[in-house]
Amino acid sequence: MATSRAGRAGGAGAAARLLGYLESKKNLAGSACGLAGLGLGFAGVGGSFWPVVVAGLYGAGALIAPPERVDPPHHPDAAEQLGVVREDFGRLREYLAEVDLPPAAGGKLAELMELYAALLDPGWVADALAAEPEWVHALSRAIRLDVPECVDTYNRTRWWTRMTSGAESPERHLERQLVVLYDEAERVTAGLHGVEAGRQQTHTTYLEERGRS
């Protein structure tokens, strides 16, 4: 049965490729030249070799036809990526609503999520963030990978602590991880502030120079 399905799939692929070639510029150009050759054959040009003339003209037409244009792959820009990150952030919130964390880590996580929400909230802040692909990537990585991994490894590791002792507690590791992520988010925030402050300074300089001229 698997063989028959593979055979059908292969046949469908071959039919699609054949149809694609029939509709291609190469076939259309070759067919036009071939028809011209057929007309020459009816007119007596080429004598008994008219099939060769037709085939030759078809091949020549196919060769000189411009190649089919293949659209380059689309890579979303930073603004589109930020929209996707915003959707991922919504899913992260839903996930975190179902987990139980210790008070200290839960409080730090709440602060982190508030900071992410402020950065992603549609408006001029998000517009400024979208203009910085590296910061969009950092935020995306934290939301998609880092925060879920922190919470998941905490939940799995704390089960083993019931049978072991002496190691640093999973709660402490989780707190340390969240502190690092919060510091990273604050660096993004500070960077955005620096960009806006630079714009303001540039405009001030421009106005002062215009006033002196």
What is the structure's pLDDT at 66?
62
> What pLDDT is attached to residue 64?
62
Distance CA 93, CA 100 (A): 13
pLDDT tens for 81-135 read 888 999 999 999 999 999 989 999 999 999 999 999 999 998 888 888 888 888 9
| Within-domain flag for 10 | no
pLDDT at residue 170, rounded to an integer: 87
Q: Are 154 and 171 in contact (CB under 8 A)?
A: yes
Total domain count, the chain: 2
In the predicted model, what is the mean pLDDT of residues 194-211? 89
pLDDT of residue 19: 59
CA distance 144 to 141: 5
Mean pLDDT along residues 42-47: 58
Shared-domain flag, residues 177 and 127: yes
* 136 touches 78 (CB < 8 A): yes
Residue 135's closest CA among 85, 196, 202? 85
Domain boundary among 39, 64, 89: 64
Q: Are residues 93 and 198 in the same domain?
A: yes
The answer on 105 and 43 residing in a single domain is no
Residue 195 pLDDT > 90: no
- Determine how many CB atoms are found less than 10 A away from the CB of residue 37: 23
Q: What is the pTM of this model?
A: 0.62
CA atoms within 13 A on the CB side of 125: 13
Q: What's the domain range around 173?
A: 78-212
Within a domain: 69: no
For residue 120, is it within any domain?
yes
Residue 12 covered by a domain: no
Q: What is the pLDDT of residues 130-180, one digit of tens each?
A: 888 889 999 999 999 999 999 999 988 887 776 666 667 889 999 999 999
Confidence of residue 211 (pLDDT cuts 50, 70, 90): confident
